[in-house]
Amino acid sequence: MRADVVVVGAGPAGLAGATRLAEAGRQVLVLARGNGFTHWGAGAVDVLGRVGGEPVERPLEAIDRLPEGHPYHLVGQAAVRDGLDWFSGFADAAGLTHTGDPERNRPQVTAFGTLRPTCLLPEPAAKELRGRVAVVNFAGFRDFAPALCAQRLRRSGIDAVPASAPLPAWDHDRYFTGVELARAIDDPGFRRRLAPGLARAVAGAEVAVVPAVLGLDRGHEPWADLQSLVGTPLVEAATAPPSIPGLRLFAAYRARLDALGVRWQFGFPAVGVERDGDRVTAVRSEGASRLLATRCQELVLATGGAAGNGIEANRDGTLTERVAGLPVEGFDDRLGFMGGRFLGDHPLAAAGVRVDAELRPVDTAGEPLLANVCCVGGLLAGHDPTTEGSREGVALGTAARVAAVLAATPAR
């Protein structure tokens, strides 16, 4: 096989990068072992939620307070802005309008009733909580506990009360997952039967918080429709994986990439590269029964950090980059990987590949290693996407940067 650009990885960075490169006219192949952090995220666009554990109000300004070597410093504020602008346009066109201001963070309500600082929110999660708030579960859904959510919200001074809405008769009377419920809510008839019970559950409230299950394959339309049937604004709370807002986004990317003629190899991990001097000539990936080699001009690694599959943490404390064998700074022993508190910070999360301003990997002396490889997203050293709340911002900012870099090295 042959491609102009191979993008390895289909998480937030790989999807955005592949789309932007394809939009710029590159012929792209996406090689992915599986789903990435679209499915594991909170369903928002985090740019910079916390620095040093403290919530950030103005994410772009707060970039200055990040340590040296952070990906944001490499790509610059302009690329982050560009990434967010591009994303807003893309999401809007896909029927997944996001709202928010890159200059200012806003709170996203979670299933735990915490208010996580984020930047852009999909419309179904965007409404501010004020006045009386009903926290409503759909009866029988095991992944949402209104009492828990409302209790925490009250601690934040929000007048929240728990409630439960009955589900109409459907195919999954006995048990169901969030995905099944979201798919059911795609059906206008189901929504009409659901609305009266939900309306009773939220009666008297100015706004209702619900699990993020309001539709799967129809963008934000099921949410908007149900909201108008109920007559009360509905707010989707960040809910446990798989993230249904993330699934919606993934589907939108996939549709866009298909429309742009991008090819996919999904479910086949990349396991190595072929090289000629300082250039990668092909990517090796697992096929159904044999190793495949895909020849390429440019390789974009969007394989994620140690939480994804980009970096393997070895028993002896060393770290291995799994596709091109790029150097990654490890630890003296494996006790260095993690902090002493689970909810604290973990050094392993910030481990990654060091790159230059063009996102080309460099060695410990800062010298470029491979001339036609770029790294984006979670694979990059120097940031912890979870504790900083920077995952989507870094993904979009580095995708913007890689699009600009490769625009300067057109397809041959």
Token output for 26? 């590159």
Under DSSP, the state recorded for 124 is G
Point out which span in 97-105, 220-228, 247-255, 385-393 binds other proteins (CB under 8 A).
385-393
Find the Cα–Cα–Cα–Cα dihedral 111, 116, 118, 123, rounded to 10°.
Answer: 30
**Residue 228 CA: distances (Å) to CA of 109, 200, 297:** 21, 14, 51
389 near other proteins, judged by CB under 8 A: yes
387 near other proteins, judged by CB under 8 A: yes
> Please, what is the minimum distance in Å from the beta carbon of residue 383 to other proteins?
13
312 near other proteins, judged by CB under 8 A: yes
Quote the CA–CA distance of 26 and 120 in Å, as a whole number.
28
With contacts defined by CB under 8 A, how many residues of the chain interact with other proteins? 77
243 near other proteins, judged by CB under 8 A: yes
Rounded to the nearest angstrom, the gap between the alpha carbon of residue 271 and the centroid of all alpha carbons in its chain is: 23
Amino acid at 136: V
Token output for 188? 């206008």
Quote the CA–CA distance of 99 and 124 in Å, as a whole number.
10
Measured from the CB atom, the residue of 86 and 331 that comes closer to other proteins is 331
Rounded to the nearest angstrom, the gap between the alpha carbon of residue 403 and the centroid of all alpha carbons in its chain is: 19
Measured from the CB atom, the residue of 122 and 385 that comes closer to other proteins is 385
> Please, what is the minimum distance in Å from the beta carbon of residue 186 to other proteins?
19
Residues 274-303 that bind other proteins (CB under 8 A): none
> Please, what is the minimum distance in Å from the beta carbon of residue 352 to other proteins?
12
> Please, what is the minimum distance in Å from the beta carbon of residue 350 to other proteins?
11
Measured from the CB atom, the residue of 44 and 74 that comes closer to other proteins is 44
> Please, what is the minimum distance in Å from the beta carbon of residue 254 to other proteins?
22
Point out which span in 27-35, 68-76, 184-192, 237-245 binds other proteins (CB under 8 A).
237-245
Residues 137-156 that bind other proteins (CB under 8 A): 139, 142-148, 150-152, 154
**Residue 412 CA: distances (Å) to CA of 94, 142, 181:** 31, 53, 48
> Please, what is the minimum distance in Å from the beta carbon of residue 130 to other proteins?
15
Residues 322-351 that bind other proteins (CB under 8 A): 333-335, 337-338, 340-344, 346, 348-349
Amino acid at 335: L
State the DSSP string of 144-186. Answer: --HHHHHHHHHHTT-EEEEEEEPPPS-TTSS---HHHHHHHHT
Measured from the CB atom, the residue of 76 and 107 that comes closer to other proteins is 107
386 near other proteins, judged by CB under 8 A: yes
Quote the CA–CA distance of 359 and 237 in Å, as a whole number.
35
